[in-house]
Amino acid sequence: MTSLSELRFFTTPAHDCSYLSDKQAITLFADPLAKINKDLYSALSSAGFRRSGNHIYRPHCQSCNACIPVRIPVSTFKMKRRFRRILRRNVDVKVNTVEPELTEEYFDLYERYINARHADGDMFPASRDQFQSFLVDGRPEACFIEFRTSARLLAVAVADELNDGLSAIYSFFDPGEEERAPGVFAILELINAAKFRDLDYLYLGYWIKHCKKMNYKLDYRPIEIFVNNRWVMAGS
């Protein structure tokens, strides 16, 4: 297995930022051919890296530090009144952890979600190859967490189990079920899953102050941010 000291990194050329329209981005990738075990993957996540498919990366922009890794310390998470209401709305939902795979049921839900929520983004249009490479291929630590009513599949959260926490990779859900707030419900259940596994954190990826799509992450308190190569508690 590759050690952290042996691991090579590569940077991309500057390209348009996916989140801030007036910015150029550079991405730092861990060597995709390296044999990265769970310990090394966990260390990289603790250092602000993120996974997409079988790529482990973090922003490496020279003139911008807007992308800030965030994580929830699950043992001290504060349950807001709004979160309790969402849990009550979903009392009929069954939660189950399964191995990642591509099925017609999963892809149908994923495609409807992309069409409704991300038709203006680079993930549109959805394809089976995209689903396979983005959500199924990747890490042995990954799992799908299903959210089902008695009638159908409501949502799927994709998460990796690290040494110190769960990393929320992606979630997709029925866009016609906004009243249930399935995205919020999925995060609440991931917090519970991390607690159940005696893990310390739920990693939520990057928060960007001036990106509205990222604002929801600071609803979960307390929350830690990774700045100047260390984790600190975010202000209220």
pLDDT, tens digit, 9 for 90 and up, residues 190-226: 999 999 999 999 999 999 998 988 999 999 999 999 9
With beta carbons less than 8 A apart as the criterion, state whether 115 and 124 touch: yes
Tokens of 166: 């769960």
How many structural domains does the chain have? 2
Query: For the chain, what percent of residues have pLDDT higher than 90?
Result: 89
Same domain, 24 and 60: yes
pLDDT, tens digit, 9 for 90 and up, residues 33-89: 999 999 999 999 999 999 999 999 999 999 899 999 999 999 999 999 999 999 999
Mean pLDDT of the chain: 96
Which of residues 23, 40, 66 is at a domain's end? 66
Distances (CA, A) of 6 to 1, 3, 28, 45, 198: 10, 5, 16, 17, 30
Cis bond leading into 125, ω under 30°?
yes
Question: Which domain range does residue 203 map to?
Answer: 70-233
Same domain, 196 and 88: yes
Quote the CA–CA distance of 236 and 233 in Å, as a whole number.
9
Same domain, 159 and 198: yes
Same domain, 202 and 172: yes
Phi (first) and psi of residue 140, to 5 degrees:
-70, -15
Inform me whether the pLDDT recorded for 236 exceeds 70.
no
